[in-house]
Amino acid sequence: MDQYQADVVIVGAGGAGLRAAIAVAERDPLARIALVSKVYPMRSHTVAAEGGAAGVVQAHDSLEHHFHDTVAGGDWLCEQDVVDYFVAHCTEELVQLEHWGCPWSRKADGHVNVRAFGGMKIERTWFAADRSGFHILHTLFQTSLKHPSIRRFDEHFCVELLAAEGSTRGVLTIDVASGEFVLIEAPAVVMATGGAGRVFRENTNGGIVTGDGMALAYRCGVPLRDMEFVQYHPTCMPGTGILFTEACRGEGGLLVNRDGYRYLQDYGLGPPSDAPRNKFMELGPRDRLSQAFWHEQRKGRTFEGEHGSVVHLDLRHLGAARLLERLPQIYELAREFLGIDPALTPIPVRPAVHYTMGGILVDGRCAAPLPGLFAAGECSSVGIHGANRLGSNSLSELCVFGRVAGEQALEHARSRPLLAAHAAGTRRQAQQAMERALLPLARQPGRERLSAIRTDMAVSMERGCGIYRLGSEMQTTCDKLATLVERCDRLGVGQRSRLFNTEWLLALELGHQLDVARAMAHSALERRESRGAHQRLDGFEQRDDINYLKHSLATVGADPAGPPRISYGEVRITHSPPGLRAYGAAGEAAAAAAAPSGAVA
């Protein structure tokens, strides 16, 4: 087993992990940083984000507007002090990215341009055409190469978060190429491993999005917060789930059903108008749009396609020139994957799982209850997304909280360095973790196939924890997941050599996915109300602020192979009491009523 020492080890080298690493390197060039990623950094899933990143820049916009859009968009399940910090720091982070070379799209006068996005009152989404995540990731990765103190462990798969005596000690990883174990000891660990959308069947996520960091923290007793809130993005490619960005609608794209009717007007988002109107119709939030699709499907007003029901995303009126300027990747995806020219033909779309609002419980400093553990980005629940994330908040989150996590981890490492006395215990622990990770290789491969368990999980999650949920179906999913955990524990790997053994790593990933899936399903089952992305149809159709204006917490039980324990934590409300969450004309009326002086909040 190879061994390294670092001051801060960061697991995950997407947007959040890279931003954390740069933050540490800038603050203390002598600090030893280990940046671990199971893929090369530029393959991380940040790369696939399309639409853009939110940051207030326009004179008629304000931090208060961004705050309110975010908190109402999250159906009041947000940590309001954290949202305050977030909106106050988005713009400086996006400017910082600009200084590092991010090619944000510009206005003719040379200033950065912004576009409209769903649920946002005023245009504040910075964009680099429709490749915003790609450019953010490559800008951060290439900028990170400036810092010799960042030691990269590319293609190293993290199998265990090591903790003892109530604090972190480092991580154990597998060097994918050699199959050898590598122990990285560090007093501070930053998890930045991204989301877990691959536990569902139809999703927009890359194959690597398997919730590893969430599972690793969970196994150390750290609660996963608000895991029942899983976002369905309304406009995805049927079959593959490939994303057509919300920016399609920000630029003026329309959603129509089989009758050519803009059906969103039937779901509290109207009235329709010719010009796009913020927070109306197609610029409503993702949860509401995905729910509207579900109803249209039930009413038989969708088109039937090879991969299920679809509606049409109509971009034709924007014209080829505008599409090529603002949405070149969408143009390319439609043409190459669907054989459709979106300037001439509407794009068939349907909802698919996109984002996990919940994640590793951390406070506003990105610190988890386990001292020494920090988390940032989609794997974390810092508290800004609540029950439904607004598009373009997550790319800003990567930067704002990636930096915070890096700086806080460095502080922690300085004040509580590892002691020589810890070393023997850490190595013993790593040895045990190594033996556990080797179990799938030690078992004889039987009849059980990894892909079959993975598919069963994804189908069951889709059935039980989809856009609308029923208690009985969620219970069935919980039960099914328990049997899948048992099946996974019997899984043997056919390839015996450890050299680049993807079969082995997939088995370990599947274990992570099942832990995360169980946290989602059990948290969902226990939440007896409807809020944001968690919508029930079995007598709990309303939001219930008396009993459930609370964060769910899924914690590993006494039996680690058993179901999670579900408990609840308080929501921090500073200055926006829960109100009516409305969009379209109803939203405008509600906002006017809340601000009788005429100053619409």
Name residue 75's amino acid.
D
What x-and-dash track marks residues 233-252 binding other proteins by CB under 8 A?
A: ------xx-xx---------
Given 68, 135, 201, 249, the catalytic residue? 249
Nearer to other proteins, 328 or 417 (CB): 328
Nearer to other proteins, 283 or 334 (CB): 334
In sequence order, which residues have a C-beta less than 8 Å from that of residue 274 and are 6 or more positions away?
Answer: none
Pair of tokens at residue 514: 């099942």
Q: Which of 17, 187, 195, 206 binds other proteins (CB under 8 A)?
A: 206
Q: Which of 495, 542, 567, 574 binds other proteins (CB under 8 A)?
A: 495
Query: Closest separation between CB of residue 411 and other proteins, Å?
Result: 21
Does residue 416 contact residue 394 with C-beta atoms inside 8 Å? no
Query: Closest separation between CB of residue 256 and other proteins, Å?
Result: 23
Query: Closest separation between CB of residue 43 and other proteins, Å?
Result: 5
Q: How many angstroms separate the CA atoms of 68 and 76, rounded? A: 10
Query: Closest separation between CB of residue 240 and other proteins, Å?
Result: 6
Number of chain positions touching other proteins (CB under 8 A): 62
Q: Which of 1, 2, 27, 92 binds other proteins (CB under 8 A)?
A: 92
Does residue 390 contact residue 54 with C-beta atoms inside 8 Å? yes
Which residue stretch of 42-50, 248-256, 418-426, 458-466 sits at the interface with other proteins (rule: CB under 8 A)? Answer: 42-50
Q: Is 43 in the site for other proteins (CB under 8 A)?
A: yes
Query: Closest separation between CB of residue 335 and other proteins, Å?
Result: 10
In sequence order, which residues have a C-beta less than 8 Å from that of residue 582 and are 6 or more positions away?
Answer: 268, 589, 590
Q: Is 261 in the site for other proteins (CB under 8 A)?
A: no
* For the chain, the helix, strand and coil percentages under 3-state DSSP, each to the nearest 5: 40, 20, 40
Task: Say if residue 190 is exposed, middle or buried (CB neighbours under 10 Å; 0-12, 13-18, 19+).
Answer: buried
Does residue 227 contact residue 220 with C-beta atoms inside 8 Å? no
Which residue stretch of 206-214, 268-276, 350-358, 554-562 sits at the interface with other proteins (rule: CB under 8 A)? Answer: 206-214
Q: What are the phi and psi torsion angles at 313 (to 5°)?
A: -100, 110
Question: Which alpha helices (DSSP H) does 162-202 contain, by range?
Answer: none
Between residue 310 and residue 329, which ones bind other proteins under the rule CB under 8 A? 329
CA distances from 500 to 184, 209, 495, 496 (A): 20, 19, 10, 11
Q: Is 336 in the site for other proteins (CB under 8 A)?
A: yes
Task: Say whether 448 sits in a helix, a strand or coil.
Answer: coil
Query: Closest separation between CB of residue 238 and other proteins, Å?
Result: 9
Q: Which of 31, 48, 136, 230 binds other proteins (CB under 8 A)?
A: 48
Which residue stretch of 76-84, 105-113, 467-475, 537-545 sits at the interface with other proteins (rule: CB under 8 A)? Answer: 105-113
Q: Which of 19, 121, 138, 288 binds other proteins (CB under 8 A)?
A: 138
Q: Is 450 in the site for other proteins (CB under 8 A)?
A: yes
Query: Closest separation between CB of residue 596 and other proteins, Å?
Result: 36
Residue with tokens 């439609």: 334
Q: How many angstroms separate the CA atoms of 473 and 545, rounded? A: 24
User: Which residue in 163, 124, 235 sits closest to 9, CA to CA?
Assistant: 163
The number of beta carbons lying within 10 Å of the beta carbon of residue 310 is 23
Query: Closest separation between CB of residue 380 and other proteins, Å?
Result: 21
Nearer to other proteins, 150 or 264 (CB): 150
Nearer to other proteins, 111 or 528 (CB): 111
Q: Which of 58, 271, 319, 337 binds other proteins (CB under 8 A)?
A: 337
* Helices and strands in the chain: count of H runs, count of E runs: 16, 22
CA distances from 401 to 23, 87, 190, 196, 381 (A): 10, 11, 11, 19, 11
Q: How many angstroms separate the CA atoms of 587 and 463, rounded? A: 32
233 has catalytic annotation:
yes
Q: Note if the bond before 187 is cis, omega within 30 degrees.
A: no
Given 138, 233, 385, 512, the catalytic residue? 233
249 has catalytic annotation:
yes
Does residue 193 contact residue 37 with C-beta atoms inside 8 Å? no
Between residue 160 and residue 199, which ones bind other proteins under the rule CB under 8 A? 177
Which residue stretch of 180-188, 311-319, 336-344, 462-470 sits at the interface with other proteins (rule: CB under 8 A)? Answer: 336-344
Name residue 398's amino acid.
L
User: Which residue in 494, 509, 400 sits closest to 447, CA to CA?
Assistant: 494
Q: Is 503 in the site for other proteins (CB under 8 A)?
A: yes
Pair of tokens at residue 69: 């859009």
Q: Is 40 in the site for other proteins (CB under 8 A)?
A: yes
Q: At what angle do helices 471-489 and 450-464 cross, to 10 degrees?
A: 170
Between residue 148 and residue 167, which ones bind other proteins under the rule CB under 8 A? 154
Pair of tokens at residue 412: 């922690």
Q: Is 108 in the site for other proteins (CB under 8 A)?
A: yes
Query: Closest separation between CB of residue 289 and other proteins, Å?
Result: 21
* Catalytic residue annotation: 233, 249
Residues that bind other proteins (CB under 8 A): 39-40, 42-45, 47-48, 92-93, 95-96, 98-101, 103-104, 106-112, 131, 134-135, 138, 142-143, 145-146, 154, 177, 206-208, 239-240, 242-243, 306, 329, 332-333, 336-338, 449-451, 493-495, 497, 499-503, 506
